Amino acid sequence: MSDGRYAVVLRELGQALSELKRERGAPSYDRIRARGVKVIGTASALSKASMSEMFAGRRGPASLDRLLWLVRTLLSYDDGEEGDPIERRDPRLQPWREQWHTLEALRADARRRTSVPEDADEPHTATPEAAVLLPSPPELVGIPRPSSASPWLDKRRRSPLETLHDLPTPASAMATEDTAVVSALEPSASRSEQEASATEPRTSSPTNVFASLGDPLTGHDGPIHSVAFTSDGSLLATGSHDRTVRLWDTATHASVGDPLTGHTDKVWSVAISPDGQVLATGSNDGTVRLWDIATHAPAGVLLTGHDEPIHSVAFSPDSSLLATGSNDGAVRVWDVATHASVGGPLISHDGPIYSVAFSPDGRLLATGSRDKTVRLWAQMAGPPLVAQHAALPLAARAVLYGMHCSRPSTLGAPLHTPADVRAVAFSPDGNLIATGGADDAIRLWDAATRAPLGAPLTGHSDRVTSVAFFPDGNLLASAAAHEAEGPVRLWDPFARTPMGELVTGHTDGVWSVTFSPDGRLLATGSLDETVRLWDPATRTPIGKPLTGHTGGVASVAFSSDGRILATVAAAGSPYETVRLWDVASCTPIGEPLTGHTNRATSVAFSSDGRLLATGSLDETVRLWDVSTLTPIGEPLTGHNEWISSVAFSPDGRLLATGGAGGAVRLWDPATRTPLGEPLTGHTDRVASVVFSPDSSVLAVASGPKVLLYA
């Protein structure tokens, strides 16, 4: 077979694909990609650039799966209208399989006859070389759940697993890399020959491994700081000193679309998710942006949290997490889907972070710093349904009774006896429990031993109504009712001391406090009928009070991405007690939620931000679609008294509701059905229900005690 025959068959394939595209209504590349991802999946999805080359007959599909993904997607159209996709075993796919095998045979023949393949620049996962250079991301199966607020901390030592000192010099590192390349490209050499080649001084390089392809890619107006390929090699991203990012078609060397702009300073680092859908860019302005590869549009809001330039960004192998390293000496991990920070910052280096990288199985994160060390962090989280939540320590779980037999464990004495417990919260790492009582005090407890830690925190002059931990666990906020002068206090939970001055500004007591997921905001709901946002670092108000409620604000909650705040008033019209606010602009989102027949009392967001739960004086719980602000299905009924507290489990699988009559119920939020009988063990009004960060423990504050169910 001649090499020219391969080109002919490739053109024939392109013509056949183009004809099929025309027959099906000529959908655009954007529509084809979006449709294919929706009905077939992302595993074999093609970029627009790859499709363009294939339809033009200039490039073959990298695998049979990619060809079938494209053909099945096209066949799901009927004269431009979307229909049902065909099965992989559909007989209409057989001619395409045969054409693929013909191409493979011609390609293999070309490889046998030449030292350089005819399509060397084409990704091809079937060859040994491709298997070495483009490993498939492994499945993350069986990895333990997280055990700290930062899932890469070794909980036994509260430190990184290892610090690597005495790194190899650049010369020795280069020699090691060179040896690996030779081993991969010369599989026929014996082990002794390879070892001799690796140790033998190299004074010349008679044959280069790589050769320059065409002219340089030009278009940036400043130095290029970072480059990254898509996993199929069809696109290249480049980040520049000129504050822009460009995408390039590797087949044609042409720029794809307009430059990506949005950063206010030079772009230091770019990375493309292994699934090829998201581009991450880190800038000297201290921010990280996520971009949709298909549309070239920003995906969500800026990721903020670092205080200085971002030098490195890296995706986990399953594309679910993004790690960022900054000049501020911190590494942060982000949930790519929700754009929320996963736990607190990883801080152990003594200098700027210049490089971050995940291991191929996603269990380790490596960070390199100017302090001349590399640190390894072990991910204690397993396939992260809700990666931002940490696990309760094994010791704590061992002392908790099973929920299945309704045998709760209680926090040890003294609690707030004889006063009632009004609030309860787990620390982000699951090690501490904070309670607030009608005795005007806050207590801290060891979750493993259930023993109190030190003396109560005192300073409030009225009953404590709400407690909340900062996302990294190093700060605790508390609120008091009917305390007009500074009803909110901030505490160091480890030193058990107040942090600075009182947070003032409300003209009456505060019933609810909560931190935003990124820790930049503290929200407070007050009896003065207003909600305020605060900067926890400076303890100063941000913007004007949120007004509109006609009664004291009883409950406040942030969405998982921190962009929406939900608030509930304890008085006023039943149809005006639940409101949603745009946090950035401090303005209402739509009209108040209507559906309850009496006032709402409690509000909570699901961990993915899609659902909102509200409890009401009408003895029901409602679920709402956050995107449409409409109720989902009928109200949840089963309580015989008004609903006093609602909470989603961090993994999104449970909804807990507490009633004024002392009943606690669990629900499946997906089906809106109750799970089992009500939890027993308490007869007083349930003041608060809250899940542990790993969703394995439910704490219920009722009367003078807190009960733990596992």
Residue that is written with structure tokens 């990619």 in the block: 66
Q: How far is CA 376 from the centre of its chain?
A: 21
Alpha helices in 471-536 (DSSP H): none
pLDDT at 114: 53
Structure tokens at 113: 């006859």
Give the pLDDT confidence of 522-576 residue by residue, as tens digits: 999 988 889 999 998 888 889 889 988 888 899 999 999 899 999 998 776 776 7
Residues in the chain where the model's pLDDT stays below 50? 1-2, 115-205, 381-407, 413-414
User: Cα-flanking dihedrals φ and ψ of residue 403, to 5°?
Assistant: -65, -30
Which H or E run contains 38?
A: helix 29-39
DSSP 463-488: -EEEEEE-TTSS-EEEEETT--S--E
pLDDT at 152: 43
**CA 564 to CA 542: how far, in whole Å?**
15
**CA 624 to CA 632: how far, in whole Å?**
5
Residues in the chain: 710
Q: How far is CA 400 from the centre of its chain?
A: 29
Structure tokens at 640: 């015989």
Give the pLDDT confidence of 638-682 residue by residue, as tens digits: 898 899 999 999 888 899 999 988 889 999 998 889 888 888 667
**CA 421 to CA 452: how far, in whole Å?**
14
User: Cα-flanking dihedrals φ and ψ of residue 154, to 5°?
Assistant: -80, 110
Query: pTM for this structure?
Result: 0.48
Q: What residue type is assigned to position 524 of the chain?
A: T
User: Cα-flanking dihedrals φ and ψ of residue 604, to 5°?
Assistant: -155, 140
pLDDT at 482: 77
Structural domains in the chain, sorted by start: 3-133 (no CATH), 147-168+219-388 (2.130.10.10), 421-709 (2.130.10.10)
pLDDT at 380: 57
Sign of CA dihedral 677, 682, 685, 686: negative
**CA 235 to CA 229: how far, in whole Å?**
6
Closest Cα partner for 662 from 683, 631, 678? 683
DSSP 152-221: TSBTTTTB-SEEE-SPPPHHHHHHHHHHHHHHHH-TTS-HHHHHHHHHS-----SS-S----SSPP---S
Give the pLDDT confidence of 25-67 residue by residue, as tens digits: 888 888 888 888 888 887 778 887 788 888 888 888 888 888 9
Closest Cα partner for 292 from 276, 313, 270, 268? 276
The 10 Å Cβ neighbour count of residue 173 is 11
Q: Do residues 343 and 318 touch, judged by C-beta distance below 8 A?
A: no
